[in-house]
Structure 1
Amino acid sequence: MRLANDSGACIRHHSASLIIVERSLAMSLSAIAQYIFTDDTAAGRMKTITWLQAQGLLANTMHCNICSTNMDMVQRNREGTQNDKWAWRCPDCSSIKSIRSGSWFEGVRCPLNKLMYLVYSWATKRSLSQAIGDVNVGKKMGINVYQWCRDICSWTLVNGPDIKLGGPGQIVQIDESVFTHQGKNKRGHALPPVWVFGMVDISHAPALGYMEIVDQRDAATLLPIISDHINPGTTVWSDMWAAYNGIGALPGILRHETVNHSRQFITGTGVHTNTIETYWNRVKLSLKAMRGVRRESLPSYLDEFMWRERYGTSTQGAFQKLFEQIAAKHPLP
């Protein structure tokens, strides 16, 4: 990458870029946020740009569309919501390209360092109000960035390895839970409750789960989900909901054992659904911390919870995995 000042004098920046990247690799996540994302000077913006280039999220080189010349990175001090204080400029025809050209960030009207701080805040479960206050951006921008992060979670779960629970010698508990009770829309019309079907592999601590919103809680709806997401050789524990009666006949299911909650919460042989009840509590507490969730947004919040179970058990891991997956979903041209 070549840097140039406004007079056109070129500066080789490879060594400085490597120093920034090497420092960031040794830093904690909070130190990255402080050292890179909160410095609003031109030099500070360059730290963010260089860090994003190292993650494969911004181009290291750019070609001019007019004359096919390699472009230089130049400092630009124009005002605006997308002002990153640096841009690509052709040394021959002086045409300009955004530093974000072809990237996930193209068209987003917010400085890159502030965008990255919002992503950092999402990864560390920082509240939206705290995050937007830290970097002085509008609430709408903060909401959008947090939703973009959840969209990456959803994309990863769909396009990553199939979610399978259990296996030989393992137990999976299943249950359904209502997440949005019957309410009213703006015109006062009754809205149906939102039911979520879930299953947890109790061989993990905490239990590893899978959730899916369902329109019906009948066998035709639930049995295919069980079949798709449970490994052969698994023992399934459930309550005595009638839709579960056919589980034992599903291919690959070793046994189906039940507990009658009208009589007991754990059988003499140890069968129970306490673990998935704890799982529901964990999920609902995570939603309660956000002061409620719109029903149309619930699928993405459930995906975020499942994503964090698999990819974001630590905040550092969540942050790094998110960027790897952004790069996979939005490769540079």
Structure 2
Amino acid sequence: MAENQEIVSSSPMLVKTYGDIYFNTQDTEQAVKFFENLGILTLIRLCKKCQNPMRKTKDMSRKDNQKWVCTSRTACGHVNTLRSGTWLANAKLSLSQIAKIMFCWSHKLPQQFIMCETDISTKTAVDWYNFCRDICAIVLMNQDYKKIGGWGTGRPVPHP
């Protein structure tokens, strides 16, 4: 990737096509930035042991080629994966595969398509499509919905 090339889609609202997903997750570094821009991976992390800031360092032996390392001068030495503490923590797929699955699921594309695009099995496709549905359900159940009109809001609901 060219050094001056930046992530084109920095918000879920700007991801309009499968090409956007493909372009923004071509390599691991781009995929990490893409998920950080979506707020799925964190940009800042505190050490769970000593509460000092952690920093990202390259580690090519890791799935995402990076890890979080505690910056404490007291030699805490605590290390985390980029995905720890997120709903991606136990995922075995690459971030690129996950982004493609999420896009295809949200656009109601058949599982057969994503199986071909990401080289995953039928079982994995079914599991991930179910997982996407479950994540959406959890988010919706945790929302604090407020009335926008009607009784108790001070604003009447207009009649058609």
Counterparts of residues 1-333 of structure 1 (less than 5 Å):
19-20=6-7, 23-25=8-10, 28-37=16-25, 39=26, 44-78=27-61, 83-91=63-71, 92=73, 93=75, 94-155=77-138, 158=141
Q: What is the RMSD computed on CA atoms of the aligned residues?
A: 3.0
Distance 1:50 1:114 in 2: 15
Task: Give CA deviations for 1:238-274 in whole Å, capped at 9, x if unaligned.
Answer: xxxxxxxxxxxxxxxxxxxxxxxxxxxxxxxxxxxxx
Which of structures 1 and 2 has the bigger CA Rg?
Answer: 1
Q: What is the total number of aligned residue pairs between the two structures?
A: 141
Aligned CA distance change for structure 1 residues 126 and 112 (closer, same or farther; 3 Å): same
Distance 1:90 1:145 in 2: 32
Contact 2:67 2:82 in 1 (8 A): yes
Q: How far is the alpha carbon of 1:67 from its aligned partner?
A: 4.0
Distance 2:112 2:44 in 1: 36
Q: How far is the alpha carbon of 1:169 from its aligned partner?
A: 7.0
Distance 2:96 2:54 in 1: 23
Is the partner of 2:9 in helix, strand or coil? Answer: helix
Instruction: Compute the TM-score of the two structures, normalised by the length of structure 1.
Output: 0.37
Aligned CA distance change for structure 1 residues 137 and 87 (closer, same or farther; 3 Å): farther
Is the partner of 1:101 in helix, strand or coil? Answer: coil
Instruction: Compute the TM-score of the two structures, normalised by the length of structure 2.
Output: 0.70
Is the partner of 2:68 in helix, strand or coil? Answer: strand
**Structure (1 or 2) with the greater helix fraction:** 1
Distance 1:30 1:144 in 2: 21
Aligned CA distance change for structure 1 residues 125 and 95 (closer, same or farther; 3 Å): same
**Structure (1 or 2) with the greater strand fraction:** 1
Structure 2 unpaired stretches of 5+:
147-156
Task: Give CA deviations for 1:127-163 in whole Å, capped at 9, x if unaligned.
Answer: 212212211223322211100222244445655659x
Is the partner of 1:122 in helix, strand or coil? Answer: helix
Aligned residue type for 2:64: D
Structure 1 unpaired stretches of 5+:
1-14, 171-333
Contact 2:22 2:100 in 1 (8 A): no
Task: Give CA deviations for 1:18-57 in whole Å, capped at 9, x if unaligned.
Answer: x32xx215663223212123x2xxxx21222222222221
Distance 1:137 1:157 in 2: 28
Q: Percent identity?
A: 19
